[in-house]
Amino acid sequence: MKSLLDKVNAKLNAQGGFLKAVSILVGGTVFAQGLAILALPILTRIYSPTDFSLFAVYTSLIMVLSVASCLRFEIAIPIPKEKEEAVNLVALSFISNLIISLIVFLVIIIFYPQIIELLGQPKFAQLIWFVPVGVFFLGLYNTFQYWATRQKQFKVIAKTRIIQSFGGVVTQILLGVLGFFSFGLIIGQIIKVSAGIRNLIKNFLDDSHEIFKKINFISLKKTFIRNKNFPKYSTFEALANTAGVQLPIIFIASKVGGGEAGHLMLAMQVMAIPIAFIGNAVSQVYLAHASEKLQQGQLKEFTITCLYSLFKIGVLPLILISILSPYAFPLIFGAEWERSGEMMVWMIPWFCFQLLVSPISMSLNILNEQKIALLLQIIGLIIRYFGVCVLFYLSISSKLFEYYAISGGIFYFLYLCVTIYVINIYDKNINKFYL
């Protein structure tokens, strides 16, 4: 009886620690995202759907490029037991990010006319030079955020998110009022991803100054070889994943024109609120604890706890927000944004399954199953982007968004099923081994 009580208490303590960590990140994120949400009705009255369309193209480009800029070494930072290897991973991530950001800049210089023509956005000609800047700062932030995740310093992460949101929102409003339009949105976005980096870097140096000084070519090479699956598989997996989401937006912006991509971007921003509030926070906590739970043979149980918590606190509010959006959007954001509210209803399955998948998808990296993750993302890219292209060339361009939304739900449902199946197999094998 005592043994059973001890197990129950241990489980409750573990869940309590998990929920406490989530609450810290959610608290900071709620304030940060709450500020961004409050600013949206102001921004939609300052900027037009066309301005948001140009902003959508910029955001899509930096999202696609930045996921590969660190060669995915950043997501490996919380995993190793040895602190020395984690510090080397930080260095590899930083070096990769710097090199790839410079390559992006050079590619724009060399192929500038072709890129602008391909994007089908003449007004983007002056804005494209901000793409490598955004890629670099986003990669830099991700690198040192994952270090803070490894150290379970969730308060530091929460603080940076507040700084980012405040700086980005204030900049976008001020520049918009001054008449800078889409330029103001982009500058605000750069400030949003770069603010707070100084605090994260200082946190890293305080934690590992002595180890960092000992980094050399040999240690970096050894770390690269031990973690080669991340650049080899996870980079292409992340590229396929982000491309599946972002390339259709660029395609819709270039082929449909008008403010359609701007409407889509606003709808996605509002749909992403529960993911920003809860999903990202749970992802950070899940990644910080999943490796330990795997070693204890408790990854399946931990994953189920995570999914159950996400369903209660995330999925149900997301469904409610989506159902009310066609009526609420014209009142909140202005009459010209009604189309965005209609889009949200179509995206309910997509974002509900994404909210559930987002944290536990990291388990495929922890289980060293990057090949499965890569295959899933390639399938997702084919379903989503190439499906949109086929519809356009079949002259069914009026239904591009609807197909895009439905394909997102299908993809994330498939990803959820496969990830749970893989975790279940590993859990059974580990339990058999220890029994």
Task: Write the pLDDT tens digit of every residue in 381-402.
Answer: 999 998 888 888 887 777 888 9
pLDDT of residue 350: 92
Q: Is residue 359 over pLDDT 50?
A: yes
In this structure, what token pair is assigned to residue 26?
């959610």
State pTM to two decimals: 0.77
Is 274 or 60 the better-scoring residue by pLDDT? 60
DSSP state of 296: T
CA distances from 152 to 3, 16, 30, 230, 279 (A): 30, 15, 19, 22, 17
Please, are residues 284 and 154 in contact by the beta-carbon 8 Å criterion?
yes
Q: Averaged over 170-198, what is the pLDDT? A: 90
pLDDT of residue 26: 53
Per-residue pLDDT tens digits for 96-128? 999 999 999 999 999 999 999 888 888 889 999
Q: Averaged over 236-248, what is the pLDDT? A: 86
Angle formed at CA 230 by CA 225 and CA 235, multiple of 5 degrees: 135
Q: 206 burial class (0-12, 13-18, 19+ CB within 10 angstroms)?
A: exposed
Residue 368 — pLDDT band, cuts 50, 70, 90? confident
pLDDT of residue 72: 92
Say how far apart CA 327 and CA 322 lie, in whole Å.
10
Please, are residues 44 and 266 in contact by the beta-carbon 8 Å criterion?
yes
Q: Is residue 231 over pLDDT 70?
A: yes
* Phi-psi sector, 195: left (phi>0), alpha (psi -120 to 50), beta: beta
Say how far apart CA 151 and CA 288 lie, in whole Å.
8
Q: Torsions phi, psi of 111, nearest 5? A: -110, 30
pLDDT of residue 11: 42
- Listed in sequence order, the DSSP H helices in 47-120 are 49-69, 73-76, 83-110, 112-119
Say how far apart CA 28 and CA 162 lie, in whole Å.
6
* Phi-psi sector, 216: left (phi>0), alpha (psi -120 to 50), beta: beta
Is 324 or 282 the better-scoring residue by pLDDT? 324
Please, are residues 372 and 418 in contact by the beta-carbon 8 Å criterion?
yes
In this structure, what token pair is assigned to residue 205?
């140096």
Per-residue pLDDT tens digits for 191-220? 988 888 888 898 888 888 888 888 889 999
Is 97 or 358 the better-scoring residue by pLDDT? 97
Sign of CA dihedral 282, 403, 344, 124: positive
Q: Is residue 20 over pLDDT 60?
A: no
Please, are residues 359 and 314 in contact by the beta-carbon 8 Å criterion?
no
Which of 385, 71, 141, 46 lies closest to 243, judged by CA?
Answer: 385
Q: Is residue 311 over pLDDT 50?
A: yes
Say how far apart CA 21 and CA 284 lie, in whole Å.
9
